[in-house]
Amino acid sequence: MLDKGVTESLAQNIVATQWHDVPPQARHQAKRSLINFFAVTLAGCRSSPIEIALGLLGQFSGSRQASVIGRRERLDAASAAFINAACANVDDFCDTHLATVIHPTAPVAAALLAFAELRPVSGADLLLALILGNEVQARIGLAISPSHYNRGWHITSTCGVFGAAVGCGKLALLSERQMVWALGIATTQSAGLCECLGTPAKSVSVGNAARNGLLSTLLAEKGFDGPAEPLAGVQGFYHALAEKPDLSRLADGWGESWEIMATSYKPYPCGFVIHPVLDCVLDWRRENPKAGVTHVVVRGNPLLSLRADRPKISTGRESQVSVQHAVAAALVCGKAGLEQFTDSCVREPEVLKLRSKVEVLRDENFSTIAAAVEITTADGRTHKLTQTAARGSDVNPLSDRELEDKLRAAAAAWNSRYDVAPLIDAIWGIEERSDVSGLLSLAVPA
C-alpha cells in the first residue's frame, strides 16, 4: 500500500493524453455513450425522486446557468450536474462497464455538460474528457473488482466521482499537481452503498458523484490542495475501501486499449444481470404469445441472485432489480420497456401472479451476460432457452440505429411532438462544434 507516486503517475497519464492519442473507434463509442446518456436521462427526468430532488435543490440554487435535460427548470452548474446524473441512472437504464459494473457515463457526462455551461468547451475536448473520465473510473474500479462491489459499495458512485473530477479536470486544463489534488478531494467524497439500490436513495450518491467530481476540479484549480497520495496512501482510498487492490490496473497498458470500448448499452431499463434472461423470455414470447406459463426456472451468474432475486416487491423502482418481475412482465406484456417497470405494472394482477412462479438458481458457470431459462407451460411442456451474450453487451452490441431508436423512444414517451433528430445529428457531428453547450438546448423539449 506504500507505492510511491501511484496518484501522480495516474495524473501524469491523464494530463499527457491528447485528442490525437484516441483512436477513431473510441471517439465514435463516446458519441454512442452520449446518445445513450441523453436517452436514459430523458427517460428518467420526470420520475418522482427527480421531481423531489429538483424541487429541493431549486430552493437553494443560484444563477440559473445550467440546463436540466428534458426540463424547463434551470439550475446552477453543480446542482445541474447532480440532477442530470441522477436522471441518467434513476431508471437503471444507463450504460454499464460490465467488468466493474460501473455505469460510466451518468456521473461523467453530467459533470462535463455542466462544466460546458460554465465555460465554452469544444466537441473534441468534450469527447476526450468523457473518454478519459470513463477510463480512469474504470481503472480505479478494476483494481478493486469484484470485492469492492461485493462488499456493498455502489461502484458507479464511489468511482464515478473520480471520472467526473478527471473529465472536468481535463476540460479545466489542470496541471499534474492540480489533478492529484482533484483526485484527492474526490477520494474524500467517494461514497454510495448498494443497500440503496431499488430505492430513490440510490440516485443521491450518483448525483453526488457528478456534482462532487465537478467541485473537486473547481476547488483544485483554485489551489485548494489535498494529500500527495490520496489513492494509495496508508489512510487513503484503497486502504479504506478495498481489499488487496491490484494497483497495476491503474497504469498498465494506458493508451493501448480504451475502457470505453467495453461499454454495454441496455435495451431494457433494469439491472444488466437481468438482461440475458429477458432476451430468452422475449424471444420465446414472440413465438408463443398465447401460451399459459405455469413455472419458470432462471439460471445465471451468482450476481443475478445477489442483486435481483426479489420475488416480493411493491414499487416500480424495486422492479428494476427483480428478475421475477422482469420475467413476469415480459411474459404478460411481450416487451420490457419503461412502462413494464412502473408501480402500476408491479400491481398488475397477472404479473403479480406470475412473479411467484419464477425461481432463480445460481450457477458459477454463467458469466454475468449469460443465462438459461426453462419455461413450463400449462400443457406440461418445458421450453429451454439460453443466451450466451446479452443484447447490448460489448460483445453483442446495439447498433448505432438501435441507440438512436432508444433516444427517440425516450423522447416520444416524454412528448410525442418532441423531435430529437437535431440532437442526434448534433451528437454524431459533435467534433465540428467549438461550443457544445448548444446540445443542451436541443435536449429540452420546446
Applying CB under 8 A, does 145 fall inside the site for a copy of itself? Answer: no
DSSP state letters, 14-59: HHH--GGGS-HHHHHHHHHHHHHHHHHHHHHTTSHHHHHHHHHHHH
Give the footprint of a copy of itself on residues 165-184 (CB under 8 A): 181, 184
Residue reference for cell 441523453: 38
What span, in angstroms and rounded, lies between the C-alpha atoms of 66 and 63?
Answer: 8
286-293 long-range Cβ contacts below 8 angstroms, 24+ apart = 286/334, 288/377, 288/383, 289/334, 291/377, 291/378, 291/379, 292/377, 292/378, 293/331, 293/354, 293/357, 293/375, 293/376, 293/377, 293/378
Q: Which amino acid is at 249?
A: R
Applying CB under 8 A, does 151 fall inside the site for a copy of itself? Answer: yes
Nearest to a copy of itself of 124, 171 (CB atom): 171
With vertex at residue 153, the alpha carbon angle to CA 39 and CA 247, rounded to the nearest 5 degrees, is 100
Phi, psi of 220 (to 5 degrees): -60, -40
Applying CB under 8 A, does 225 fall inside the site for a copy of itself? Answer: yes
Applying CB under 8 A, does 6 fall inside the site for a copy of itself? Answer: no
Phi, psi of 94 (to 5 degrees): -85, 175
Nearest to a copy of itself of 33, 187 (CB atom): 187
Applying CB under 8 A, does 347 fall inside the site for a copy of itself? Answer: no
Q: Which of 122, 212, 340, 387 binds a copy of itself (CB under 8 A)?
A: 212
Nearest to a copy of itself of 76, 125 (CB atom): 76
Q: Which of 12, 175, 199, 377 binds a copy of itself (CB under 8 A)?
A: 199
What span, in angstroms and rounded, lies between the C-alpha atoms of 108 and 93?
Answer: 16
Min separation Cβ 194 and a copy of itself, Å: 4
Q: Considering only CA atoms, which of 3, 81, 80, 70 is closest in space to residue 38?
A: 70
Applying CB under 8 A, does 413 fall inside the site for a copy of itself? Answer: no
Nearest to a copy of itself of 73, 400 (CB atom): 73
Cα torsion angle, 263, 178, 212, 198, sign: positive
Nearest to a copy of itself of 49, 123 (CB atom): 49
What span, in angstroms and rounded, lies between the C-alpha atoms of 262 and 259?
Answer: 5
Min separation Cβ 219 and a copy of itself, Å: 6
Applying CB under 8 A, does 380 fall inside the site for a copy of itself? Answer: no
Applying CB under 8 A, does 368 fall inside the site for a copy of itself? Answer: no
Q: Verify cis geometry, omega within 30 degrees of 0, for the bond prior to 267.
A: no
Nearest to a copy of itself of 57, 329 (CB atom): 57
Q: Which of 52, 173, 251, 421 binds a copy of itself (CB under 8 A)?
A: 52
Nearest to a copy of itself of 76, 95 (CB atom): 76
Nearest to a copy of itself of 158, 387 (CB atom): 158
Q: Which of 141, 236, 267, 300 binds a copy of itself (CB under 8 A)?
A: 236
Q: Which residues bind a copy of itself (CB under 8 A)?
A: 49, 52-53, 55-56, 59-63, 76-79, 151-154, 157, 181, 184-185, 187-202, 204-205, 208, 212, 215-216, 218-219, 222-227, 229-230, 233-237, 239-240
